[in-house]
Amino acid sequence: MSIPFSRINHIFISHLHGDHFFGLFGLLTSFNLLNRKNDLHIYSFPELSDILQLNNPKMIFGESMGYKIHLHPLNAEKSEVLFENKSTIIHSFPMRHRIPCCGFSFAEKDKPRKLRPAKIVQYDIPTYKRAGIKYGNDLELEDGTIIPNAQLTDDPPPSKKISICSDTLYNKTVIPYILNSDLLFHEATFLHDKLSRARETCHTTALQAAMVAQESGAKKLVIGHFSVRYKDTRELLEEAKTVFAETYAAEDMLTFNF
Ligand SMILES: [Zn+2]
Ligand SMILES: [Zn+2]
């Protein structure tokens, strides 16, 4: 699914190594050129405020800065809810990297049950009772008969969860936060024969990323953040697939249907 620029209102930056935020300058400038007016929310570490000159955004964006940026600080010590509305909840959780770093999970909340249209007609269910039935209520008819919810509704489509783990050492403490992700992105900077290099630089190997996917019950794993020493993704993918078959290599415009 492609999302129009104008609908991007929340941006999550895991940590302040340049490869993870340099793209912001171009993006924020493009928003301005496109005449953005909506506030933008960025979730990252407080130092980003100085980097982007948020106290005086006109330094970077000129007099025509047309929208406000809100920086929400991340906590690298414990998991936090960053955003929540009726349908979605977004958590951060600590990663183990050379500088403070957080992973993110984006989860749909449980959806209401689906009320069968034929039952609305059959029992002439009034509008004011329908919301309650969608949340599990039974229906009481005027003569006192109870129609159980299971006869009125179908299961809703399953709620989806996407988790992002970048950058980190192999780190089992993230597993409770990313449990049962429909899609897990995990960094896989090196092949496992470079394990000592991975440890030195606080990164993960393709094999370890696959272990995290397997141990956390992910349905699909996307690996990325590959070291430039690898000319293509073939070996990294092969290594991960020895542990977790549903592995894909991240590439531009890669899309999945859930
Ligand atoms: Zn990093
Ligand atoms: Zn990085």
Q: Which residue, 205, 164, 201, 208, is CA-closest to 186?
A: 164
Domain count, the chain: 2
Question: Are 190 and 245 members of one domain?
Answer: yes
Q: Say whether pLDDT at 6 is over 90.
A: no
- Domain range spanning residue 149? 114-154
Question: Are 180 and 221 members of one domain?
Answer: yes
Contact 91, 177 (CB under 8 A): yes
Which ligand lies nearest to the CA atom of residue 188 in the structure?
A: 2
Q: pLDDT tens digits for 126-165?
A: 999 999 999 999 999 999 999 999 999 999 999 999 999 9
Q: What is the mean pLDDT of residues 84-93?
A: 96
pLDDT band at residue 253 under the 50/70/90 scheme: confident
Instruction: Look up residue 191 and give its DSSP letter.
Output: -
Is 107 a domain residue? no
Question: Are 169 and 232 members of one domain?
Answer: yes
Is 175 a domain residue? yes
Ligand 1 centroid – CA 219 distance (Å): 26
Kindly state the percentage of the chain with pLDDT values over 70.
99
Q: pLDDT tens digits for 19-30?
A: 999 999 999 989
pLDDT, position 64: 78
Residue 59 or 88, more confident:
88
**Residues known to be catalytic:** 19
Kindly state the percentage of the chain with pLDDT values over 90.
85
Question: Are 149 and 169 members of one domain?
Answer: no
Question: Are 135 and 176 members of one domain?
Answer: no
**Close Cβ partners of 89 (under 8 Å, ≥ 6 residues apart):** 81, 83, 107, 109
Ligand 2 centroid – CA 144 distance (Å): 63
CATH number, domain with residue 244: 3.60.15.10
pLDDT, position 10: 97
Q: Which residue, 253, 238, 169, 252, is CA-closest to 207?
A: 238
Is 37 a domain residue? no
Q: How far apart, in whole angstroms, are the C-alpha atoms of residue 41 and residue 221?
A: 27
Which ligand lies nearest to the CA atom of residue 226 in the structure?
A: 2
Question: Are 241 and 172 members of one domain?
Answer: yes
Give the residue ranges of DSSP H helices in the chain.
Answer: 23-33, 48-51, 58-61, 117-123, 127-134, 175-178, 195-200, 206-215, 234-241
Ligand 2 centroid – CA 21 distance (Å): 10
Instruction: Look up residue 155 and give its DSSP letter.
Output: P
Question: Are 145 and 164 members of one domain?
Answer: no
Length of the chain: 258
Q: pLDDT tens digits for 170-210?
A: 999 999 999 999 999 999 999 999 999 999 999 999 999 99
Ligand 1 centroid – CA 126 distance (Å): 56
Q: Say whether pLDDT at 58 is over 80.
A: no
147: phi then psi, degrees, rounded to nearest 5: -100, 115
Instruction: Look up residue 86 and give its DSSP letter.
Output: S
Q: Say whether pLDDT at 1 is over 60.
A: no
From 154, 176, 211, give the residue that closes a domain. Answer: 154
From 154, 182, 216, give the residue that closes a domain. Answer: 154
Q: What is the mean pLDDT of residues 59-80?
A: 89
